[in-house]
């Protein structure tokens, strides 16, 4: 039993010692963080915003929930025109801040960072959160009115652009449909033309065939005769004509003698009847 009690006492002593050491370390880190914030503030006052940012980051490395360090880091980044990097620091400060005034300041500066990056919806939300924590801040109220006006203008512009895009899209679709329709019509006309040409061609072929069948063969013969070359008559000299006439005359005389001879030889003798 005594051993059990001694063990518990030893455990409690060790736990208390570890807790005390952790508290000491935490206090030491907090002191170091505060020291770095003071150093950052001095650099910030000298407008050395980049060096101030380094000091504030070191402070946050020692105490991540140090809202003053995150808020001041946001201011240093904002002055360096690093608006996108400043915004998350203001958000962190607004979440970790314990009093409403600090929260209101953090949200106000967050809204300013959003305005610089033209995130009007984010700016409107930030300014509203700032006024929830400090409703008497007229500057925040004025900034909210400006951000809301710019947001409405942006939404209207986006709406007009969307309507314009929709109209252009509808027009394009309509043009595409008309093109397809014209294409189909042209293809249909081409098909009709091809069919008509084939029909005319077939009809002409049949007509030529029928015409060929019904053609008069005599006309073809006459056509062939006309196409045949005519023999040319030979030209005779006067001497040749005289010789030809003498030859014909001699032939005629010979023929006459033969016929006379035939008549004499062919004459029958009259016979007496034997009865």
Over the chain (275 residues), the average pLDDT of each successive run of 10 is: 65 57 71 94 96 95 90 96 95 91 95 96 97 95 97 92 79 79 73 63 55 53 44 58 75 67 41 33
Q: What are the CA-CA distances from residue 40 to residues 15, 36, 52, 98 (Å)?
A: 37, 6, 4, 22
Phi-psi region of 101 (alpha: psi -120 to 50; beta: other; left: phi over 0): alpha
**Structural domains of the chain in order of their starting residue, each with its CATH number:** 23-80 (1.25.40), 93-196 (1.25.40)
| Model pLDDT, residue 209 | 55
| Model pLDDT, residue 55 | 96
Instruction: Give the span between the Cα atoms of 148 and 124, in whole angstroms.
Output: 6
- Of 5, 8, 60, the C-alpha closest to 36 is 60
| Model pLDDT, residue 24 | 59
| Model pLDDT, residue 14 | 58
**Residue 69: exposure state from Cβ atoms within 10 A (0-12, 13-18, ≥19):** buried
| Model pLDDT, residue 46 | 96
């Amino acid at each position: 039993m005594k051993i059990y009690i001694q063990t518990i006492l030893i455990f409690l002593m060790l736990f208390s010692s570890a807790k005390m050491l952790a508290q000491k370390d935490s206090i030491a880190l907090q002191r170091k963080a505060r020291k770095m914030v003071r150093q950052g503030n001095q650099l910030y006052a000298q407008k050395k915003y980049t060096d101030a940012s380094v000091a504030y980051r070191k402070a946050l490395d020692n105490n991540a929930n140090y809202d003053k360090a995150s808020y001041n880091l946001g201011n240093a980044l904002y002055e360096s025109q690093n608006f996108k990097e400043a915004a998350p620091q203001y958000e962190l400060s607004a979440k970790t801040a314990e009093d409403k005034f600090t929260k209101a300041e953090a949200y106000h500066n967050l809204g300013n960072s959003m305005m610089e990056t033209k995130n009007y919806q984010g700016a409107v939300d930030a300014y509203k959160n700032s006024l929830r924590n400090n409703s008497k801040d007229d500057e925040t109220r004025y900034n909210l009115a400006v951000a809301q006006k710019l947001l409405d203008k942006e939404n209207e512009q986006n709406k007009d652009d969307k309507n314009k895009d929709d109209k252009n899209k509808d027009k394009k679709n309509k043009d595409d449909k008309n093109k397809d329709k014209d294409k189909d019509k042209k293809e249909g006309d081409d098909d009709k033309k091809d069919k008509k040409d084939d029909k005319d061609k077939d009809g002409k072929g049949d007509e030529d065939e029928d015409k060929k069948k019904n053609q008069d063969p005599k006309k073809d013969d006459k056509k062939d005769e006309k196409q045949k070359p005519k023999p040319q008559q030979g030209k005779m000299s006067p001497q040749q004509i005289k010789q030809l006439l003498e030859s014909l005359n001699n032939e005629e005389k010979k023929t006459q003698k033969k016929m006379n001879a035939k008549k004499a030889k062919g004459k029958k003798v009259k016979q007496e009847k034997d009865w």
